[in-house]
Structure 1
Amino acid sequence: MTGDEATAAWLRAQWAVPATEHAVAVEGARITYRGWNLDAHDLPGLLLIHGFRAHARWWDHIAPSLARTHRVAAISLSGMGDSDRRPAYARAQMAREVLAVAADCGFDPVTLVAHSFGAMSGIMASIASPDRVRRLVIIDTALPTAADVGHQIPVPPKRLYATREEAMERFRLIPPGAWPNPLVLKYIAHHSVRETAEGWTWKFDEDAATSLNAEAHAYRADLFGITVPTDVIYGAESEIMTPERRAMAAEIAVDCGIPVEIPCTHHHIMIEQPVALAAALDALLATPRNKIACKA
């Protein structure tokens, strides 16, 4: 069996593990999440948070490995995946969605694992309710340095396609990376589209960036002061988590571990190096991190 064949077999085994579907109302919106091993009440709780315009099913091939040692849930933030859309969005509001899902699962405290944009809600949840968060792991995220303040997220037009297959063919990663696993890419693309009366389109709300851009000058200050144990994972070839942003992680977190580099991957580590990411998370979570005393 070649390496590619072994990875394909591993992926098929991961996807074969069934997940349960759940939802909780948060400030007027139905927030959906998927769960693995949620009935194992003797195990600690872990919540997976996706990146911008992604959704819970980006974790379907990673979560089953983590469910050997944890109760695991994966959230779809509002305006993404199968969760409800809102008239306006805010990062702090998404942090409250994260805490609400953790509470609905009975994760008290919870370990948060967050990729890319999702790290902002994970960080804000950790700062807002440090007593409810055991640990935070951020994966290849664009922590806003002083030079990034005011950065605007592009607002795309709504795109319509005649069939699911046509839409899937147009699925693109931003940034594109270079070595996406084709099986993972196809799986995520399949679960990223929905059928409407007008045709097939993406599940995310195209207008979400508009209100998020309105707070772009202010939210950076809300990321400082993490007191829960924090770890960082990044791609060796990442276009996003630059050395400056890795350095910022140590500035915003009182107890930040040594960053873990995943070789041969860009920003979307779960798509380019899924096995390595699962192994890195397993290793990090198997190493206890206790909260340290912090000065007021």
Structure 2
Amino acid sequence: MAIDQFQKWRRAFQSIQYQNKTIKLNGIQVGYAAVLGQNKPTILLVHGFSAHKHWWDFCLPWLYDAFNIVAIDLCGMGYSEHLDHYDTATTVDLMLALMDHLKIPRFHLVAHSFGAYLSSYCISVHSQRILSFTCIDLDLKIYNPYVDHPNPKIQTPPRRWYPDQESAISRFRLIPEGFAQKDTRWLEYMASQSICPYLDGWSWRFDPNIFNFDKVYCQDTFCQSIKKKKIRCLFIVGEKTKIMNVEQGLKNWYSLVTSEFGSHVIIHDAYHHIMLDQPEDLSLKIINFIQALSQ
């Protein structure tokens, strides 16, 4: 009989004491989850745009064996507070405030997509806190905005409303599209974690105003910080990613961090959301990279 991989994951995940928590930091409510107290390296997991900390859930059974784990909900997403304005500095300050609250002075950054951009800024201004950086499926060189090209303001889309959970879950889509698993229960689980009660119905667990998030150029200081503090960096790319040309993305990566401090791996049969497509392979690549740093 074939092993039911989804049920195997669910049993392993439910055995981990990993619950939603919220705390006021710098006057702002921040959602997070953590598994701490082990004599192991600590990783901070940073999710992508319009996402939340539960995007890492599929990786937890493997990461739990190797690390202390902290996963944050970024401003306006997940269980974190909706704000009048969103910007890079405020968001990164909250990431560090959370680690201060948990009494973790230094840690390994593991970040996906938009979270990797925020992490590059974090390294730019707080490099002394960072032990290593894993950048998952984002071409930082292309993504990083330039000072002389200010972020265009867009009209905030209205918040979506659905009459019941089933209607909301049925509308869940990956952006960009691409899903390597044949079992749709993985997507259904993520959809169930991505909705919340709203106006006697249901909506997505993020604030539409995040689409006017103010980003800053930090590429130069990021590169300088990597070299000055000798921060080792890993670039993980989905073989089938649709947000970049893989070959060009690798060239851009090494133009930023150089082969002295940077390395890369390509996850086969994976699109942009690698933690859904190949959670075990992704987790093992992260584990191998960080554990090798202490050898």
Partner of 1:233: 236
Distance 1:77 1:96, change over 3 A: same
Quote the offset at 1:24 in angstroms. Answer: 3.5
Partner of 1:208: 210
Partner of 1:83: 80
Partner of 1:39: 37
Unaligned runs of 5+ in 1: 291-296
Confirm or deny that 1:122 pairs with 2:122. Answer: no
Distance 1:146 1:159, change over 3 A: closer
Distance 1:156 1:276, change over 3 A: farther
CA deviation map 1:223-282 (0-9, x unaligned)? 443422111101011112433333332233365332100001110101111121122222
Larger mean CA deviation between 190-199 and 18-27 belongs to 18-27
Partner of 2:193: 191
How many residues end up aligned between the 2 structures? 283
Partner of 1:294: none
The residue correspondences of 1:1-12 to structure 2 (distance < 5 A) are 1-2=1-2, 5-12=3-10
The residue correspondences of 1:1-296 to structure 2 (distance < 5 A) are 1-2=1-2, 5-16=3-14, 17-36=16-35, 38-40=36-38, 42-145=39-142, 155-180=156-181, 181-212=183-214, 215=215, 218=217, 223-227=222-226, 228-242=231-245, 243-253=247-257, 255-288=260-293
- Structure number with greater CO (CA < 8 Å, separation at least 6) is 2
Distance 1:44 1:195, change over 3 A: same
Length-normalised TM-score, structure 1 = 0.86
Percent identical pairs in the alignment equals: 27
Distance 1:267 1:280, change over 3 A: same
Cα distance between partner residues in 1 of 2:28 and 2:275:
28
Partner of 1:293: none
Quote the offset at 1:287 in angstroms. Answer: 1.0
Cα distance between partner residues in 2 of 1:203 and 1:125:
25
Distance 1:92 1:225, change over 3 A: farther
CA deviation map 1:195-240 (0-9, x unaligned)? 122421111010111243xx47x45556443422111101011112
Q: Is the 8 A contact 1:53 1:80 kept in 2?
A: yes
